[in-house]
Structure 1
Amino acid sequence: MMKDYFIERPKFPAHDFRREFRIRRKFFEIILNPIVNHDHYSARKIDALGRQSLSPHQTLTFAFHMLANGCSTDSTYEYCQLVKTTAIENLKRFCQAIQAIYGATYLRKTNREDLKRLLHKADKKGFPGMIGSLDCMHWEWKNCPTAWASQFKGRHNKPTIVLKAVASYDTWIWHAFFGAP
């Protein structure tokens, strides 16, 4: 994995990293250090047998892979070398660290000042009264239960789930809804 993406001359280019993990490698590196500093679970250690534990890159890569692709712990074992219990613990700790580090800024409830700022910004661009833009994404539901498949048929006759979201210019999500197509 390190040879694939994280050395000076990686095997795969940056756009492959972004496609695989839904994040730029530069942004990945920016998030890595605060996560390791906040929770030493991700830091590289020596285990009881004298072997090095997983690298911070492995633990964070696994968390992003699971969140970006919605895959199970079993499907990423070969690549990231995490067993199921370690993978679940890693994902929980990653989410807790993100909430602790960035929660006060990005995961808080909005206030009047935020709303005024967004309305002012939209007004300057010629859209008075608008706080954000609506976007809909159609996602193919690969593991849809067979009994439900006909209820969720979307484009190309495959089960689909739709995410509707209203996001402001600063990517603040004001409303999100998962539903049938």
Structure 2
Amino acid sequence: MDSREEESEHENEAPSFWTAERQRADARRRRRMRLRLLEREQLKRFHARFRMRRELFTRILSDMCSNNRYFTQKPDCTNRLRHSPLQKVMAAIRVHGYGCCFDSADEVIKIGGSSIRWATMEFCETIVRVYKEQYLRDPTPDDISRLLSENKARGFLGMIDSLDCMH
């Protein structure tokens, strides 16, 4: 038997466990790299995509991570890291900002629809819990008088209940 016959004999063999494991690890690494590139691309066009300043987004992201364990990146049962906090918050904000369904955001963010649904529910609960005292309160009499004077200057007298005239 010459060396060519030996090589062709080895080519027909099934790949070993270590070869298959290396291929799976390479595929995971390539997926993580594509995901990082996607996240960088999302951040480049940040204001156009999310309609908020990047500083506000990073503040919300850090508040989500520090106040809700769901927004920390954890390994699954096979010890592979699951979705990043950035992916989860981006998905939740995208669903709220565009009013789209959960399944339509999964193509962009690369998370399944059920994971986006869960991230959106956790996001809403955490937003209310963290920002309720500061931002989600009833207006004080000083707030109402300030809003009325601002609206009067704009030409909208007495328009305190219309959200269209409050920005």
Give the TM-score of the pair, scaled to structure 2.
0.65
Q: Residue 38 of structure 1: CA displacement? A: 0.8
Structure 2 counterparts to residues 20-169 of structure 1, below 5 A: 20-119=49-148, 122=150, 130=157, 165-167=164-166
User: Counterpart amino acid of 2:109?
Assistant: C
* Offset at residue 54 of structure 1 (A): 0.8
* CA displacement 1:76-128 (0-9 Å, x = unmatched): 223323222221111011011111111112111112122234456x39x9579
Q: CA deviation at 1:19?
A: 1.6
| Deviation for aligned residue 1:55 | 0.6
Q: Given the alignment, which residue of 26, 29, 36 partners 1:2?
A: 36
Residue 25 (structure 1) shift: 2.2
CA distance in 2 between partners of 1:68 and 1:29 (Å): 16
Q: Distance in 1 between matches of 2:120 and 2:82?
A: 16
Tell which structure's C-alpha radius of gyration is larger: 2
The answer on whether the counterparts of 1:46 and 1:53 sit within 8 Å (CA) in structure 2 is: yes
Does the Cα contact within 8 Å between 1:35 and 1:94 map onto a contact in 2?
yes
| Cα separation, partners in 2 of 1:72 and 1:58, compared to 1, 3 Å | same
- Cα distance in 2 between the residues matched to 1:76 and 1:129: 38
1:19 aligned residue: 48
Q: Indicate how the Cα distance of structure 1 residues 127 and 88 shifts in structure 2: closer, same or farther if over 3 A, else same.
A: closer
Secondary structure of the corresponding residue to residue 165 of structure 1: helix
Show structure 2 runs of 5+ residues with no match. Answer: 1-34
8 A contact 1:36–1:56 mirrored in 2: yes
RMSD: 3.0
Q: Report the alpha carbon displacement of residue 56 of structure 1 after superposing the two structures with TM.
A: 0.5
Tell me how far apart the structure 2 counterparts of residues 127 and 89 of structure 1 sit (CA, whole Å): 41
Whose helix proportion is higher, 1 or 2?
Answer: 2
Number of residues of Structure 1 aligned to a counterpart in Structure 2: 133
